[in-house]
Structure 1
Amino acid sequence: MTSSSSSTQHRPPTAITATLPFLLFPFILLYLIYSSKLLIYPPHVTTKTTCQDPNLTANDHPKTGYDTELKHIAFCIAASSKLWESRKEYIKLWWRPGETRGAIWLDKQIKIKKNETLPHIHISQDTSRFPYTNRQGHRSAIRISRIVSEALRLGLEDVRWFVMGDDDTVFVVENVVRVLNKYNHDQFYYVGSSSESHYQNIFFSYSMAYGGGGFAISYPLVKELSEMQDRCIKRYPGLYGSDDRMQACMAELNVPLTKELGFHQNDVYGNLLGLLSAHPVTPLVSLHHFDVIDPIFPGKKRVESVKHLLESTKYDSGSLIQQSICYDVGREWTVLVSWGFAVQIVRGILSPREVEMPSRTFVNWYKVVDFTAYAFNTRPVTTHPCQKPFVFYVNSTRYDEVRREIIGIYSVHRERHPSCRWRAESPEKIHTVVVLKQEDPDRWLRAPRKDCCRVLSSKKEGIMYLWVGHCGENEVIEV
């Protein structure tokens, strides 16, 4: 082929090939004229712009999604009879009789007190016929992995999603709806998130939704799963838990994990301040492992702390613990707002790139001081005596009818601060931070973006006023 092409290139032109350019010239000219018109008048394009108008308010944006509501979701809670008396208190925090649907599955019958606001209780079916060979785990993992299939057999009407969780999983139910409404419930979806521990994800799988953080499975996928799950479980006797068995069956169904970072396994120990105050820009869906982490609010018990956190959801559930960053330039302070949770004031100007990373106020699941053990970027807790943050935890949240604003009162957490030689003013004189905010129910219908934060003037000694909300045009965090 090569020699033939080479010989063709050296052939002398014939009369036809010599006059071919002149014959084609009129057609080339017409083509060029037509092309130029296309550049001026493109076909099938209207003059109406599709660009987003920066002046649109939150209420001007069209609503999107699949009209999924709370009534379309069935919660499936895995519980243990041994831990029932303490764990049931977490369920009471988020369960809403008459609104939420679903049930609890226990390993055996328990005494149920009257007038407790809890889901219906079922006893899991016998699983003794299934092999279990993992020496580190417990065979209850098999019964827990079958709960979703058993829930399907209850025959609940008009269910689009089954959401799995543990008895110590706390859901922000409004945000469960927000997240699931993005997905077509008529398709196969397996929605959840990984562990915070890199080691846990390596040992199990980054493709697995961790059960303590909760995960959601669409109705048609649960139907498909229920047809093959028992056969699937028998193929994996050596797996540790229920969630890795679930993922193994999803792999056989060719369904990948759809990751939503708002589901939190909380495979950490210690203080969650650093983790929660730098939450990803996504709705907070769930929290887990409250029995191993410190109470979210110092001085409160664990259940009381979670209840206190959820109180802000009455006013703007979609913004709960979302981070905003701003600066008090005159006093050279960096201010971090985690709405509905905490405000931190740090002396000095820290870049947004730095403070949007969680500070390591916690330790990893294996209690090893190793920053590479996390599945996300973190920053060390500062050792500089001048840059220890002054922390203000939310005290109360209310709606002001006159101002049409949500008012959050954050009170200082009294603790000892090291001596600082900087000439910059100390935040120690601030005892209260007031955060003003407008409700933004459509924030997750827009492209993900943090709220902007502004420091407001104040004539009251010891009180700082902040505003957080939807960023204006050309609004940038800079000093």
Structure 2
Amino acid sequence: MNQTRRKRRSDPPLSRPDSLSPEMPFPSKSPSLLSPRVRNIFLLLTFCSIVFTLFTYCTFRRDQISSIARSLPLFSTQRRHLLFSIAASRDSWLRRSSYVRLWYSPNSSTRAVVFLDRRRLDPDPDHTLPPVIVSQDVSRFPYTFPGGLRSAIRVARVVKETIDRGDDNKDVRWFVFGDDDTVFFVDNLVTVLSKYDHRKWWYVGSNSEFYDQNVRYSFDMAFGGGGFAISASLGKVLARVLDSCLMRYAHLYGSDSRIFSCLAELGVALTHEPGFHQLVSEHYYICVVSRVSIFGKFSSFACLVWLVLDKSSLFPLMLIDEQQRVSIFGKFSSITEIDVRGNLFGLLCAHPLAPLVSLHHLDAVDPFFPKTNRTESVARLISAASFDSARILQQSVCYDSSNIVTVSVVWGYAIQVYEGNKLLPDLLTLQKTFSTWRRGSGVRSNYMFSTRDYKLHNVGNCHRAEALKRLQRIRVLSRKLKLNVEQMNPPRRQCCDISSPFNTSMVINIRQCMPDELIAMNT
């Protein structure tokens, strides 16, 4: 039986790479599924989704979120967010505009306007000063305070006229009000107002340093001479209702009392900031027509006519009779209100632990520095503040236990060197270098702070320790103080070290205190 044998098909020979046909491309590596550009877009979308989810479903409270937002540079308060409104008269502006020129700087985004009662005699604008606006007519508003000044209505209504300026107030977060002799430390004011949310209702300022003034007006009123700030959101509401308040409060004396009363009706209380300083009040009174009656051994004095003077310039304002004076200040009031005059060294050396914001009525006190006039002394203080605004007038106390020496440094102003160990609370008490406007043994000084006597010594007869006899120069070193909200709530005094030993020159270094460090002499 014949069987047919099938031939086995042979497999084709394996081809070598070099035998491939030119028409067949060499197999390449498989491409990646995602290109770098697509991958980056995907990662970005994922990140945005995570952020959106966190801010949508996070359990943070709303005030915590707004606090975080305000800490970002985009939301921080800056100079351009403040608008200063200065109340003045044409006569006072000629004398006091030099004070405004010290702190107003249009090149540094400082925004301000000045309101006068009449048009200026000089029509040419001074570009180193804020633009001037003539106040609107306020004759329709009543004023019934005996012996007072109707100008209080115009000054109060400056608040409304400032806020109603429309597009000129673009980006304004805070409206700041003061007098033409109020000196502002603008950078410090920006720092202070950064603590508060301008979208809420804030009324920020300080009352008087003198107890009698606060009793007469209010402990919860911001005194206008020291300046006060109103948030933009509150200002818009206040501007709409202020005219009705001016009609109701015709019996009040000053402009700041009217603003305070209207804000009280809106339910807004004063937020106290100790960096605002009123210092002295507006006027004092001199008897010009008197009558003396003699009854045996006793005599009685009665003043028939009083002359009201502007305390800063001694400019006569009006004549009032005894009945009007009694209705203003009470029958036990004497010639003047209780305020300070003379040397403010003690006040400045014991400044509160807060940024210096304003000073007022500088024409009524001595220059701050020797051999300067008042304007020059304020300019020197502002010049020091330009180097480290937050540190100006801040007091640091340091000790040298080897020489038993205590040194108090008031940055930008004064250094006091004491022999021996002076306790910190004693040095923080205000030295009474000033005096009251009223004189006499029966005059009492009722201040809102504690005071200690300031004793002057004859340098020639003064006995000094050997360590201090050769001392001629003191250098103070410090890093620039940049305060944030956390550092101001609450604030903490800084420490300092004295380089020892010292001979003719002493070097003091101001620094942050250690967590458990005490400001005291090591014994």
Out of 90, 96, 100, which is 1:87 matched to? 96
- Counterpart contact for 1:197–1:365, Cα < 8 Å: no
> Structure 1: how far apart are the matches of 2:221 and 2:127?
34
> Structure 2: how far apart are the matches of 1:418 and 1:371?
34
Q: Secondary structure of the equivalent of 1:379?
A: strand
Alignment of 1:434 with 2:475, yes or no, is yes
Matching residue of 1:377: 450
> Structure 2: how far apart are the matches of 1:112 and 1:469?
51
> Structure 1: how far apart are the matches of 2:136 and 2:110?
24
Matching residue of 2:380: 308
- Matches of residues 238-317 of structure 1 in structure 2 within 5 Å? 238-267=251-280, 268-317=340-389
Q: How far apart are residue 270 of structure 1 and its match?
A: 1.6
Larger Rg: 2
Given residue 482 of structure 2, which amino acid in structure 1 is its aligned partner? P
Matching residue of 1:30: none
- Counterpart contact for 2:138–2:154, Cα < 8 Å: yes
Out of 410, 413, 427, which is 1:355 matched to? 427
Out of 95, 102, 106, which is 1:97 matched to? 106
Out of 140, 143, 156, which is 1:145 matched to? 156
> Structure 2: how far apart are the matches of 1:469 and 1:368?
45
> Structure 2: how far apart are the matches of 1:367 and 1:160?
45
- Counterpart contact for 1:186–1:218, Cα < 8 Å: yes
Matching residue of 1:132: 143
Q: Cα deviation per residue 1:61-119 (whole Å; 9 max; x = unaligned)?
A: x9479511111111000112112222000001010114111200011111155544111
Q: Secondary structure of the equivalent of 1:274?
A: helix
Given residue 469 of structure 1, which amino acid in structure 2 is its aligned partner? R
> Structure 2: how far apart are the matches of 1:68 and 1:368?
49
Given residue 97 of structure 1, which amino acid in structure 2 is its aligned partner? P
Q: Secondary structure of the equivalent of 2:85?
A: strand
> Structure 1: how far apart are the matches of 2:127 and 2:440?
41
Q: Secondary structure of the equivalent of 1:205?
A: coil
Matching residue of 1:108: 118
> Structure 2: how far apart are the matches of 1:335 and 1:312?
20
Unpaired runs of 5+ in structure 2? 1-69, 281-339
Given residue 147 of structure 2, which amino acid in structure 1 is its aligned partner? Q
Q: Secondary structure of the equivalent of 2:430?
A: coil
Given residue 307 of structure 1, which amino acid in structure 2 is its aligned partner? A
Instruction: Give the direction of change, closer, same or farther, for the CA distance of 1:219–1:474 in structure 2 (3 Å limit).
Output: same
TM-score where L is the length of structure 1: 0.76
- Matches of residues 77-476 of structure 1 in structure 2 within 5 Å? 77-98=86-107, 99-110=109-120, 111-155=122-166, 156-267=169-280, 268-364=340-436, 366=438, 373-382=446-455, 416-417=458-459, 419-420=461-462, 424-425=465-466, 427=468, 429-442=470-483, 445-446=486-487, 447-457=490-500, 461-476=503-518
Instruction: Give the direction of change, closer, same or farther, for the CA distance of 1:114–1:220 in structure 2 (3 Å limit).
Output: closer
Given residue 376 of structure 1, which amino acid in structure 2 is its aligned partner? F
Instruction: Give the direction of change, closer, same or farther, for the CA distance of 1:346–1:418 in structure 2 (3 Å limit).
Output: farther
Q: Secondary structure of the equivalent of 2:229?
A: strand
Instruction: Give the direction of change, closer, same or farther, for the CA distance of 1:318–1:368 in structure 2 (3 Å limit).
Output: farther
- Counterpart contact for 1:193–1:260, Cα < 8 Å: yes
> Structure 2: how far apart are the matches of 1:292 and 1:427?
36
> Structure 2: how far apart are the matches of 1:444 and 1:348?
37
- Counterpart contact for 1:160–1:219, Cα < 8 Å: yes
- Counterpart contact for 2:406–2:417, Cα < 8 Å: yes
Q: How far apart are residue 263 of structure 1 and its match?
A: 0.5
What is the RMSD computed on CA atoms of the aligned residues? Answer: 2.2
Out of 74, 96, 106, which is 2:83 matched to? 74
TM-score where L is the length of structure 2: 0.70
Unpaired runs of 5+ in structure 1? 1-61, 386-415
Instruction: Give the direction of change, closer, same or farther, for the CA distance of 1:434–1:133 in structure 2 (3 Å limit).
Output: same
> Structure 2: how far apart are the matches of 1:287 and 1:132?
29
Q: Cα deviation per residue 1:130-164 (whole Å; 9 max; x = unaligned)?
A: 11122332111110011111011111111111000
- Counterpart contact for 1:364–1:374, Cα < 8 Å: no
Given residue 184 of structure 2, which amino acid in structure 1 is its aligned partner? F
Given residue 353 of structure 2, which amino acid in structure 1 is its aligned partner? V
> Structure 1: how far apart are the matches of 2:254 and 2:126?
33
